[in-house]
Amino acid sequence: MNFRFWLALSGLGLVTTAFAQTSPALIWVTNSSVKLEQIIGDVDWEAKAQGSNLLTVSQTATRFHVYANGLGASFEDKGRLIFLFGDTISENVTNWNYHAADPLAWSSNTDGEAGLRINFFTNNPITNVLTQFTPIFIQPAGINMDIDAVANSGITLSNGTFLVCNTGSDARVNPDNPHLGNYSVLVTVVETNLNAVNPPDAASIFVTNRVISMLHTNLDPTNILQGHFILTSLHEFGTNVLMFGTGEFRASDIFLAVTPTANFVSGAGTLYFSGLTNGQPTWSNAESNCVPVVQDNPTNGPPWPYDSPQAGNVSVTYSTNLNMWLMTYDGGVTPATSGIYFSSAAAPWGPWSTPQLIFNKKRDNGVRVFIHDASTNNPNDGLDGPTIGMNDPTNTAGGDFAPIMIERFTRITNSSLYIYYVMSTWNPYTVVKMRSQFTIMPVIDTSSLVHKKNRFILKWNAPTNMNYQVDYSSNLLSGWTTFTDIVNSSTGTFGYTNIDTGGLPPSGFYRVRTSP
């Protein structure tokens, strides 16, 4: 795909169709969000509903008795990819009753297009596919990791490997709002114990540290602590750790905090993003002063804090080729606007681009294909079950949530960006791997334009692996002349200078396009 943008010049005036931002714009390609594979269970539920018996790559039920679960947050750890899965059930709850426990797995895959093979950490090493051991479950001391309590993000730093666990949900205390008592806890992973031939008890592997964020105290809805980091996404940034978060489940925008890496265990020095002033971030040491970096507001309703957001899980990665931050989250307030959203930014504090709805379960061929339709006016679609909790699989609608990107799979080909992410479907209760495509639109840096009598300098921002050429025309109707120079860059900032000692014409048009 050769993408073009152009400038019209007249005298010393400038008219441009480019965006005002200086980083590339990423435009979702319609119909590009597709399911590539199911990664939990033995048989692909979509294939089974269609009468075939397509097996998953990982065969998690046969190898680990992991029949169904959700989430799948991932992070890099010494060359391997660690996955964190949520409330898990086995194919035989009589013999292996996991009580909605939360296992972790690893993979060595590096190609998002290849089948994703995951291996769960177990109480003994897996020597072959016939030797079966139960998974190691994330159970830090003093934390209730029952249903709805999961490890939602992780990170490996120079001073250790850490997880963020959310807990506190209890429908028995408050059926109308089971998440009222939610809070998040930092947990240290003792990797020598996790990787031991005979691992010790879970409390020796997962060590409880500090409380990060809390919604309410004593389950009192009037005592609001402004917890904005119950579900999180972690990323290292220089000598600091970035924590993106959401607060009350499905009732939150997306917030940002930063903690010095050296103090991550204690949390000392944590600052909370409190807004942009003249394009620069401002910070506060009080979580209650947080303002969103991204607002979940697809219907353009009242601005924060008067909006009605519904963001749940959030995922943030970084693309070194684009020099950009990428975000996915589940949100939206109506059937037409609910689903998976994508945003991007040149800096972690933004400004972030307007979120784009990149997957809606009805619009993008999810419902009745790999997500159960519980509508009473539809025949059985073969996708009902398994489900977690006391649900009737037939009457429980499937969903699309927890779009958690796998950073190492991010790929740029020509002028297209491809992101890969896991997504949970609720019914059937499983995790699938998705891919979405974006067109990379180079953006002109209007602040650097120079237009003089015999010289025109043009700069733009794009991925470092791209080559461009510049065309010129004195009249849009008379055709284009291509300058022979091939323009490339190792920094992401591209530039071209047109010098004509005889003087440039009083008006003209320039365009930039990818070079074949």
Distance of alpha carbon 442 from alpha carbon 453, whole angstroms: 26
Average pLDDT of the segment spanning 254-259? 98
Instruction: Tally the domains of the chain.
Output: 2
For the entire predicted model, the pTM comes to 0.87
Band of the pLDDT at 174, cuts 50, 70, 90?
low
According to the 3-state scheme, what is the secondary structure of 125-187? CCCCCCCCCCECECCCCCCCCCCCCEEEEEEEECCEEEEEEEECCCCCCCCCCCCCCCEEEEE
Confidence of residue 343 (pLDDT cuts 50, 70, 90): very high
**373 in Cβ contact with 397 (< 8 Å):** yes
Helix (H) or strand (E) holding 115: none
Phi, psi torsion values for 209, nearest 5 degrees? -115, -130
Asked if the model's pLDDT at residue 396 lies above 50, the reply is yes
Residue 408 DSSP code: G
State the SS3 of 310-347.
Answer: CECCEEEEEECCCCEEEEEEEECCCCCCCEEEEEEECC
- Asked if residue 509 and residue 367 are part of one domain, the reply reads no
Averaged pLDDT, 350-374? 96
Q: 337 exposed, middle or buried (CB, 10 Å; 0-12, 13-18, 19+)?
A: middle
Q: Are residues 310 and 182 in the same domain?
A: yes
Give yes or no: residues 66 and 113 share one domain. Answer: yes
Cα(419)–Cα(411) distance, rounded to whole angstroms? Answer: 7
One domain, residues 461 and 415:
no
Q: Would the pLDDT of 336 be above 60?
A: yes
Calculate mean pLDDT across residues 301-329: 94
What's the confidence (pLDDT) of residue 379?
Answer: 64
30 and 9 share one domain: no
| 492: enclosing H helix or E strand | none
Question: Does one domain contain both 202 and 338?
Answer: yes
Three-state secondary structure of 443-487:
EECHHHCEECCCEEEEEEECCCCCCEEEEEECCCCCCCEECCCCE
Domain that holds residue 481: 4-24+443-514
pLDDT single digits (tens) 113-157: 999 999 999 986 554 444 457 899 999 999 999 888 999 999 999
CB atoms within 10 A of CB 12: 9
Name residues whose C-beta falls within 8 Å of residue 375's C-beta, 6 or more positions apart in sequence: none
Percent of the chain with pLDDT over 90: 62
Percent of the chain predicted with pLDDT > 70: 86
Residues 193 and 223 grouped into a single domain: yes
The whole-angstrom separation of Cα 215 and Cα 247 is: 7
pLDDT tier, 1 (very low <50, low <70, confident <90, very high otherwise) = very low
Give residue 478's pLDDT: 66
CA atoms within 13 A on the CB side of 29: 16
Residues 461 and 409 in one domain: no
- Is the per-residue pLDDT at 431 higher than 80? yes
Boundary-marking domain end, from 441, 457, 473: 441
- Say which CATH number the domain at 493 has: 2.60.40
| Of 396, 415, 441, the domain-final residue | 441
Greatest mean pLDDT among 365-369, 440-444, 450-454: 365-369
Averaged confidence pLDDT in the chain: 87
Residues 103 and 115 in one domain: yes
Task: For residues 207 and 284, state if they share a domain.
Answer: yes
